Amino acid sequence: MKKAGRLILFIVLSLLLSGCTNYLDLNELEIVAGIAVDKHEEGYKVTLELLNLAEMDPEGALVFQLAEFTGQTIPYAMEKAKSRLTKELYFGNLQTIVISRQIAAEEGIGGILDWFMRDSGLRETSIVTLSSAETAREILEAKGEDLAIAAFAIEIIVNPPQKEAFQTKDAMIYRIYNAIHTEGKNVVMTAIGTKEPDGAKDDPAKEGEEKKADAEGEGEGGDAGPKEPFLEVAGLGLFQGDRLVAFLPQESINALLILREKGIRQSFAFPVSPEQGYATFRINRIRSDRYIKETAAGLVLCFDVKTEGLLIQAPPGLDMSQNGIIESLQQDAAAFLKEYLLSTAEYICRELKVDALDAGYEVYKMDGRLWQEIKSDWNNLLPQLPIEINMDLQIAGTGSYKAS
């Protein structure tokens, strides 16, 4: 925690000292790290996550606070914030904007993003996420498993430095704004939720006793671990235009990202035929080319997927020295990955009836006149669109694999 706090402090100070801040001293600034936007009976509720550079907690982490303001519009709520806070708001280090699912579904996100894009004090590269919790504020009230500041935790969760596991490049304001205003494209937005820490008790009395014991250093193992909910990726929000219409669950995230040309390093287990157990393939490189093919029967949505990786675990007892074994494993892995991608694509288009794969955009690129003719009926045509996936999977390197 101390290292994370020092790292965040270094990043914030570097950004502040590298540009002009109207010659204000750091002590005169309220640094806004995150913004949550919810509906309110007055109109909107805006929650700001503010950093205090002058203080650190006993563990060496930065101190933050949440400030809440309401107004008929978001700009009006922000004006209230500027007038009521004693320091000047600084948005140059804004990491995350969290939008409630109620706003996204009922009125859309276009108006909100338009205001953020027009405000000269905000970063166009700030991350935009969707709250899968009841409100967006709940997300800023939670924390990462090893970061107390929600805005920084979300940025790392969505775009991890190691570029593995979950990652989406469409999370920045300007990318989402552009997708909304591009023919045939649709927004896919990361949904962030909260999760209770392992071992959290439902009994309030027991929970109170644990907190007291932890505070006195008498808890289990003497470790007063965090009891607050922490942040996690809850899925992907799928949009039509600027409105939220569906959620894609966690287990389908990687498939959609691959099909949207967001190749990520990941591992997956696949069955080895004939019924020899499971092997594990680690993707090192993957590329997905998406296009529309015209046939006598009509349009077909096609994906050419090429991937290369390592076999990091073979089934017990499998003799890797056999002739043709690598080729056989490649076929098994390719068949499994192809089915995973195809089933996800068909679920999105046929069940959810959302063009999260941007098939309409491919039609528009191929034949703009055709797109103008069919776009008004695209929601009815999409579920009938055939999907074809061509898979090329290569297992690289065989010398280091041994039979278990």
pLDDT for 59-84, tens place per residue? 666 668 899 999 999 999 999 988 88
Residues 162 and 65 in one domain: yes
Least confident of 34-43, 62-71, 224-233: 224-233
Domain end marker among 240, 272, 305: 240
Domain end marker among 209, 240, 271: 240
What six digits make up the tokens of 321? 């020295």
Angle at 289 (CA atoms; ends 170, 249), nearest 5 degrees: 50
Q: Would residue 402 count as lying in a domain?
A: no
Distance CA 290, CA 163 (A): 22
Between residues 8 and 328, which one has the greater pLDDT? 328
The DSSP secondary structure of 265-276, one letter per residue, reads B-EEEEEPTTT-
- What is the arithmetic mean of pLDDT over 22-40? 80
- What is the arithmetic mean of pLDDT over 276-305? 93
Residue with tokens 């989402």: 176
Amino acid at 205: A
Q: Would residue 371 count as lying in a domain?
A: yes
Residues 91 and 157 in one domain: yes
Q: Are 51 and 62 spatial neighbours (Cβ–Cβ below 8 Å)?
A: yes
Q: 138 vs 100, 228, 236, 387, CA distance in Å? A: 10, 11, 18, 39
Q: Is this structure's pTM higher than 0.75?
A: yes
What six digits make up the tokens of 72? 């008929």
Q: What is the domain range of residue 134?
A: 2-240
Residues 183 and 315 in one domain: no
Q: Would residue 138 count as lying in a domain?
A: yes
Distance CA 335, CA 21 (A): 56
Structurally, the chain folds into a number of domains equal to 2
Q: Are 133 and 141 spatial neighbours (Cβ–Cβ below 8 Å)?
A: no
Residue 248 has pLDDT above 90, yes or no: yes
Q: Would residue 192 count as lying in a domain?
A: yes
Q: Would residue 403 count as lying in a domain?
A: no
Residue with tokens 């015209």: 294
Instruction: State the CATH number of the domain containing residue 286.
Output: 3.30.300.210
Domain end marker among 240, 271, 294: 240
H/E run at residue 36? strand 29-40
Per-residue pLDDT reduced to its tens digit, 187-217: 999 999 988 776 554 444 444 454 444 444 4
What six digits make up the tokens of 196? 């209770």
pLDDT band at 43 (very low <50, low <70, confident <90, very high): very high
Structure confidence at residue 12 (pLDDT): 54
Q: Would residue 214 count as lying in a domain?
A: yes
Q: How many CB atoms lie within 10 A of CB 143?
A: 20
Distance CA 175, CA 158 (A): 14
Residues 42 and 15 in one domain: yes
Residues in Cβ contact with 145 at an 8 Å cutoff, skipping those fewer than 6 apart: 226, 230, 231
Q: Would residue 404 count as lying in a domain?
A: no
Residues 270 and 342 in one domain: yes
Q: Are 137 and 66 spatial neighbours (Cβ–Cβ below 8 Å)?
A: yes
